[in-house]
Chains A and B, each alone.
Chain A
Amino acid sequence: MAELISGRQLRRVATIGAVAAVVVLYLCMVGLVEAFKDRNVVTGVITLGAVMLLAVPLIAGYRAALPARDPSGPTPGPAQRIVFGLLVGLIAGAVLGVFVLIASAVDVRGVLVRISPPLLAFISFGLPSGLAQLAITGVGGLVGALGALLLVSPARIRNAVTSGLVAVLFMSMIEPLLRPRLEQLDYTAISDFLYKAHGLTEMASILCFVVGAGAALLWQPGNELVRRSIEAAPVQTRRRIRGWTIAVLVVAVLILPQVSGTFLAQVAVLVGLYLLLALGLNIVVGYAGLLDLGYVAFFAVGAYLTALLTSPDSSLGIGLPFFVALPIVMLGAGMTGLLIGAPVLRLRGDYLAIVTLGFGEIARVLFESDALRPWLGGVQGILGIPSPFPVRIDLQLGTTHIFATGPQVLYYPIFAFCALAAVFAYRLSNSRIGRAWNAMREDESVAEATGVSTVNYKLLAFALGATTGCLSGALFAVQLGSVFPGSFDVFVSITVLAVIILGGMGSIPGVILGAIVLIGLPELLREFVEYRILVYGAVLVAMMLLRPEGLIPNRGRQRELHEAESEEEEETLDGDLMPQRGQT
């Protein structure tokens, strides 16, 4: 053994194995494996529970085979790396095996409620104790070795296999969305070919794997080819290509709700509402650098003002048309922004965050309060908000029949507002105002000393952020037809902040992607609803480790984040102006 694996390598393998074992046990104890042990991925072949369990030794084996961070000492050869993977898998498998043995002998359900006999049987492959332990350990080792094998194989093959597997998993995960829609559209033959008992059929999974792997194989040369031919093309053609790309994208966005059906349109509407909020908060946090944790207040103000002005059942009872009310709502929200912004002008960083958090809660409590009930309706909220948008569209255009209901209709105005807000924010960030915000965010007192009125620019950021947020609130009110204080809790603020942090602060494409990932995905993965927060947290932690600057970082901020972390902290924590730094 001594020449096959050095002491340090052994320690590393043992550590990774232990981590894998803990993750496997965690997945079992938290109930994820049990919950999905009957959810087919490939019907008759593998279930989601098994995928979850097997993914752990696979990834751990892959990791164990990666070259060590510290390059001193001999570099292990491919065979040795596969042994590392094998060992890691064996460790994880053995620990799980022992756990199963203990759990079947002693009743642990008093503490670990999720460790049920069916789960244990599932993990043991239905084998009796002893044999089962052998099998679990063996499978663990095998999968670990496969993970390592994946790493030592050439990059092309690795990418192809990974992307094939991801394609299979993806297609089986979207079954709850895709199959009903296919059947609705009368493509039963396709849906029958693809799915059986909620999982992919064997034929379909092979097809998916081949398509995924093939796409990966062709991706790089294809990409290269396309790029080269575009570069070679004359400017005019290139411009035309870009025009067409944009046109295709726009058309895709426009027909999405028609193709996707009501449920996806509903999700898209939600994504749009949050996107609008995120674009607004991005002005305040991303551009001006003011950490506002009470952003929900503006969302609430927008919704309530809309309700008050447009609902005939509200205390005002004037029932204005939506588009007449909207400018008033925006004005009101902008004023609220100034109102909240003014007292916190001198606060920075975490103090500002705490105070705005308080403002957000105050807003909710006010909307909920009995004292204001005659005007705002207390916990019952305000009902009867009419929608300015048609409930259904039924059109015959030549041979095509367009039919859309509820969210499929609302989708369009929301995305129009999002597009407006995005363009507005983009223009803003490249203007004189954007420069002032940049300067202010970096060094407030120096910005002031170069002539930027930080007071005015902070207030402007609050007002513009509030106006954008209230648009979202107004559309939200219209969408529901009613408003309740319960919809405006602190989680809205946190989620919106998470969207812009995940996406990349100050970057509009980042914010858009962030909204899709954080708002859209959880809605689409309804099956995981019980574990949503868990997955959410895990994704965020992983993101912050892998890409702390966000998915699509703002230009120029990426490098800074890594370089100036300590300085950054100092700056945000500064209670006062210049002096802290540079005193000799």
Chain B
Amino acid sequence: MNRITVIALNTFRETLRDKILYNLVFFGLLLIGSSILLSTLTIGEQVKIIEDIGLASINLFGVIIAIFVGIGLVSKEIEKRTIFTIIAKPVPRYLFLLGKYSGLALTLLVNVGIMAAGFFLTILVSKAGLHLALLKAIGLIFMELLVITAVAVMFSTFTTPTLSATFTLAIYVIGHLTDDLKVLGAKMGESLTKTILDGLYYLLPNLDYFNVKGQAVHGLPIEPSYLVSAATYGIAYSTMLLILACLIFQRRDFK
């Protein structure tokens, strides 16, 4: 087994032994299932409500897992000094980081998979029809989680767990508002503020890119070319973040 795999599998095992994870997945499933009850309270549109709530739950709980389980993975190792013996092994630091990232990605994949299964089950129970667009939406949710995890890993290479969580959460929120940054910047005319807003627009991840939940629920087409470009964007963005994370990690002291 190569060393990234060894670290990734151990990370995966670590998350599986974390009780928080089970609680999160449990609540995610609960919310997805409860959409049946909620939908009966409304007239018509029942299918849309179930789909809406289901996708939103997968997204929300995915993000919570990515941030709160993800942050701990690197910064807690530094804080608890478990990293000392790992660094002393013949494992380059960047491999450790990439292993951690891959392990968390695997955790997210499994969890999103479980929640998606719960979601599809709910749809079948409620006798609504499954359609491919839902799967596409879930695929892009996973892509978004990969980007957020990369953000979390990047921050946790140099700050405390609490600060990393705060920063990542902030990036997540602003990441969904980047279009607004652009619009706001356009209104500013030529000024320093505009330059800064434009800079932020290009620097921060445009997370709305990964949001096709609305289209999926309303049966609007999601072109394969859109999926490809969103995935490319997500992978490129995560790669840049991970390279940055490795560069920071490679030079830092473990005090």
**A and B found bound together:** no
